[in-house]
Chain A
Amino acid sequence: MLRIEGLTAAVGGTSILRGLDLAIGAGEVHAVMGPNGAGKSTLANVLAGRDGYDVAGTVTLDGVDLLGLTPEQRAAAGLFLAFQYPVEIPGVGNMYFLRTALNALRRERRQPEVGAIEFLAMAKEHMARLEMDPALLNRSVNAGFSGGEKKRNEVLQLSLLEPRLVILDETDSGLDIDALRAVAEGVDRLRRPDRAMLVITHYARLLEQLRPDRVHVLSEGRIVRSGDYELALELDAAGYGVRSGTPVR
Chain B
Amino acid sequence: MTATDTIVERLAAGAVDEAASRARAWLATHGFPHGRDEAWHYTPVDEILATLAGAVPAAGPAGHLDRSIVDDLAGDHGGRRIVFVNGVYVPQLSDDRPLPPGFHFGPLAEPSGVPAMLGTPGGDPLDGFDALNRLAAGEAAVVRSPPGARLDSPLHVVHLGVPGRGTTAVHPRTFVHAAAESRITVIETYAGLPGAMVTNASSTVHVGAGAVVAYHRIQAEAPGVTHLGRTRIGQAAGSELRAVSIMTGADIARLTLDVVLNGREARTTLDGLYVPRHRQRHDHVVTVDHGASAGTSRQRFKGIIDGHARGSFGGRIIVRPGTVATDADQSNHNLLLSSTAQADTQPWLEIFADDVRCTHGATVGRLDDDALFYLRSRGVPLAEARAMLIAAFADEVIARIAPESLQQRVAATVYAKG
Contact = CB atoms under 8 A, between A and B. Distances in A.
Do A and B pair up? The answer is yes
Interface of A: 48-51, 70-72, 74-76, 80-81, 83, 86-87, 89-92, 97, 100-101, 104-105, 108, 140-141, 157, 161
B371 interface: yes
8 contacts: A48-B377, A71-B373, A80-B378, A89-B368, A89-B374, A92-B389, A101-B380, A157-B378
Contacts, number: 76
Nearest to B385: A72
Interface string B362-401: 0000001111011111111110110011011101100000
Given A51-B369, A97-B388, A100-B384, A161 B379 contact: yes
B382 A97 contact: no
Given A91-B391, A161-B379, A86 B374 contact: yes
A50 B377 CA distance: 9
B374 A87 contact: yes
Given A91-B392, A91-B396, A100-B384, A72 B370 contact: no
B377 A81 contact: yes
A83 B374 contact: yes
A141 B388 CA distance: 12
A48 B371 CA distance: 14
Contacts of B379: 72, 75-76, 101, 104-105, 108, 161
Given A89-B389, A104-B379, 15 more contacts: A48-B373, A70-B376, A71-B377, A72-B376, A72-B385, A90-B392, A91-B392, A91-B393, A91-B396, A92-B391, A97-B378, A100-B388, A101-B378, A104-B381, A108-B379
B392 A71 contact: no
Contacts of B377: 48-49, 71-72, 74-75, 80-81, 83
Contacts of B393: 91
Given A75-B379, A89-B392, A91-B393, A51 B373 contact: yes
B66 to A, nearest CB: 36
Nearest to A160: B378
B384 A104 contact: yes
Majority secondary structure, B binding face:
helix
Nearest to A88: B371
A156 to B, nearest CB: 11
A150 B370 CA distance: 15
Interface centre among B368, B371, B382, B384 (most CB of A within 10 A): B371
In which size bucket is the chain B interface?
Answer: 20 to 34
A157 B375 CA distance: 11
B331 to A, nearest CB: 14
Contacts of B391: 91-92
B135 to A, nearest CB: 45
Which are the 8 A-B pairs with shortest beta-carbon distances? A91-B392, A75-B379, A101-B378, A71-B376, A87-B374, A105-B379, A104-B379, A72-B376
Contacts of A91: 391-393, 395-396
B383 to A, nearest CB: 10
B365 to A, nearest CB: 13
Interface string B183-210: 0000000000000000000000000000
A49 B385 CA distance: 15
A76 B381 CA distance: 10
Nearest to B374: A87
A101 B378 CA distance: 6
A119 to B, nearest CB: 14
Given A51-B369, A86-B374, A97-B375, A72 B389 contact: no
Nearest to B396: A91
A89 B371 contact: yes
B392 A104 contact: no
Contacts of A105: 378-379
A15 to B, nearest CB: 22
B371 A87 contact: yes
B392 to A, nearest CB: 3
A72 B396 contact: no
B281 to A, nearest CB: 26
Name which of B369, B379, B393 has the most chain A CB atoms within 10 A of its CB.
B379
Contacts of B392: 89-92, 140
A140 B393 CA distance: 12
Interface string B93-106: 00000000000000
Interface in B254-298: none
Contacts of B388: 92, 97, 100
Nearest to A71: B376
Contacts of A71: 373, 376-377
Nearest to B378: A101
B374 A100 contact: no
A35 B79 CA distance: 66
B73 to A, nearest CB: 29
A70 B382 contact: yes
Interface string B341-381: 00000000000000000000000000011110111111111
A141 B393 CA distance: 14
Contacts of B395: 91
A50 B396 contact: no
Most buried by A among B371, B375, B378, B381: B378
B380 A100 contact: yes
B374 A75 contact: no
Contacts of B373: 48, 50-51, 71, 87
Contacts of B385: 72
A89 B391 CA distance: 11
Contacts of B378: 75, 80, 97, 101, 104-105, 157, 161
A161 B377 CA distance: 11
A225 B409 CA distance: 60
Among the interface residues B388, B389, B396, which one has the most CB atoms of the partner chain A within 10 A? B388
